[in-house]
Amino acid sequence: HRDDGGRSLEDMRRERDGIRSQLTRMRAERDELEIELEIIRYAKELLGKGRGADPDNLTNAGRTRLVLHLADRFAMKPRDLLGRCGLSRSTFYDNGKRLGRPERDEWLLDPVRRAFEQSRERYGYRRIWRMLRDQGIRVCARRVMKLMTRHGIAPKLRSRRRCNSYSGEHGPAPANLVNRRFHAKAPNRLWAADITEFRIGEGKIYPSPVIDCYDGMPVAWGTGTSPTAELADTMLEQACATLKDGEHPVIHSNRGCHYRWPGWIRICERHGLTRSMSAKGCSPDNAAAEGFFGRLKQEFYYNQNHQDDSIDEFIDALEAYLVWYRDERIKTEYGMSIRRHRQALGLMA
């Protein structure tokens, strides 16, 4: 028999078989590509951010996880995937037995999570390790770091915006007496001052603290909706009220207009403060204040969603954070908060 085109049934069968063969080959190629893509995707997941997606960088345990994942994903037998993933049968089965065992640090996971929640999800592994030690849990910091990394327990970090209060020269500025040496041998010898900016749905908020370079304590702070001279002056008066007789610190700041106006200068002269200023537009010259703002924004602002807060709610939350920072936040250098360290040294009631 022949069709209208003059082809025999045998020709039609051969054509059909050729099409089927081509479809089978195309499906096999598609399946191979899907497997290759899944290998790269899952390898990237196992390796973590910033380490690429090359399966050759996987450990044997990682390759074993990859084989098990592919076998489940594509309904294949693990032995058919060993060569593709670079594993021998013995290594695969040995690692498979280990993966079936409970995680070595499984008991530690709940205490770590509780400590992280108690820190309001602000602490990294070093401070979590300190909290665990205070609870009587004696493990090395590296174990805590690996456990937190493995389970994605980490504070949210973002790049920070910079607030620049410099608005041009308003007269002669004092010399930079600090020259980036932000160390003091005792409290109330060297202070750093600055203003930063927060943005929420209702507007902007400006905290203005004085930082004691002896240990990073916020001595005093003010908060307002405008970066005014009154805000800076009020904060400085509060800080000076904590001084004892004979204490006359150097007060270092950037070249912002708040620190150049007569009110600020009068307060400094009345309390015997020595003024010092950074170079124009040079934030490293005021690194003590900049570092404090970096921690403040990472732990308080970027770590939480404040966009729906009212201005009063935001200021209340900011005040609570600053008190927590001073009184409770663990400073890794001391293994305790700044306030408790001063109390232990008899420097604070």
* Tens-place pLDDT, residues 207-243: 999 999 999 999 999 999 999 999 999 999 999 999 9
Local structure of 134: helix, strand or coil: helix
pLDDT confidence of residue 5: 56
Q: Would you say residue 73 has pLDDT above 80?
A: yes
Residues 124 and 93 in one domain: no
pLDDT confidence of residue 179: 92
Tally of structural domains, the chain: 3
Q: Look at residue 162 and tell me if it is in a domain.
A: no
pLDDT confidence of residue 193: 96
pLDDT mean over 140-160: 78
Q: Would you say residue 321 has pLDDT above 90?
A: yes
pLDDT mean over 103-123: 86
Q: Would you say residue 86 has pLDDT above 80?
A: yes
Q: Look at residue 161 and tell me if it is in a domain.
A: no
- Cα–Cα distance for residue pair 161/206, rounded to 1 Å: 13
- Cα–Cα distance for residue pair 63/86, rounded to 1 Å: 8
Residues 196 and 143 in one domain: no
pLDDT mean over 10-24: 84
Burial (CB count <10 Å: 0-12, 13-18, 19+), residue 320: exposed
Residues 81 and 112 in one domain: no
Per-position DSSP letters for 99-115, written without gaps between them = HTSPPTTHHHHHHHHHH
pLDDT confidence of residue 183: 92
Residues 85 and 232 in one domain: no
Q: Would you say residue 135 has pLDDT above 70?
A: yes
Degrees, nearest 5: CA angle 320-322-327: 95
- Cα–Cα distance for residue pair 281/207, rounded to 1 Å: 20
pLDDT confidence of residue 48: 65
User: What pairing do the DSSP bridges indicate for beta strands 217-224 and 250-253?
Assistant: unpaired
Structural domain range at position 115:
106-151
Residues 142 and 209 in one domain: no
Local structure of 81: helix, strand or coil: coil
Residue that terminates a domain, selected from 100, 116, 133: 100
The tokens for 163 are: 């607030």
Q: Look at residue 85 and tell me if it is in a domain.
A: yes
pLDDT mean over 33-45: 87
pLDDT confidence of residue 92: 87
Cβ(40)–Cβ(51) below 8 Å: no
Q: Would you say residue 274 has pLDDT above 90?
A: yes
pLDDT confidence of residue 106: 80
Residues 216 and 271 in one domain: yes
pLDDT mean over 62-72: 88
User: What pairing do the DSSP bridges indicate for beta strands 250-253 and 190-193?
Assistant: parallel
Residues 140 and 30 in one domain: no
Residues 207 and 277 in one domain: yes
Average per-residue pLDDT in the chain?
Answer: 87
Q: Which residue has the higher pLDDT, 98 or 294?
A: 294
Residues 147 and 64 in one domain: no
pTM for this prediction: 0.63
Q: Any idea what the CATH number is for the domain that residue 218 is in?
A: 3.30.420.10
Q: Look at residue 2 and tell me if it is in a domain.
A: no
Residues 339 and 201 in one domain: yes
The most confident of the ranges 2-6, 152-156, 251-255 is: 251-255
Q: Would you say residue 44 has pLDDT above 90?
A: no
Of the pLDDT bands very low, low, confident and very high (cuts 50, 70, 90), residue 151 is confident
pLDDT confidence of residue 50: 52
The half-sphere exposure of 252 on its side-chain side, counting CA atoms within 13 A, is 28
Residues 312 and 220 in one domain: yes
Q: Look at residue 39 and tell me if it is in a domain.
A: yes
pLDDT mean over 14-31: 87
Q: Classify the C-alpha dihedral 110-116-119-121 as positive or negative.
A: negative
Q: Look at residue 139 and tell me if it is in a domain.
A: yes
Q: Look at residue 183 and tell me if it is in a domain.
A: no
State the alpha helices, DSSP H only, in the chain: 9-47, 60-74, 82-85, 89-99, 106-118, 125-134, 141-150, 229-240, 262-271, 287-296, 311-327, 338-344
Residues 241 and 340 in one domain: yes
Q: Look at residue 165 and tell me if it is in a domain.
A: no
Q: Would you say residue 315 has pLDDT above 80?
A: yes
Residue pLDDT, tens place only, 154-211:
886 655 555 555 455 555 789 999 999 999 999 999 999 999 999 998 899 999 999 9
Least confident of 2-11, 158-167, 192-201, 333-342: 158-167
- Cα–Cα distance for residue pair 315/202, rounded to 1 Å: 12
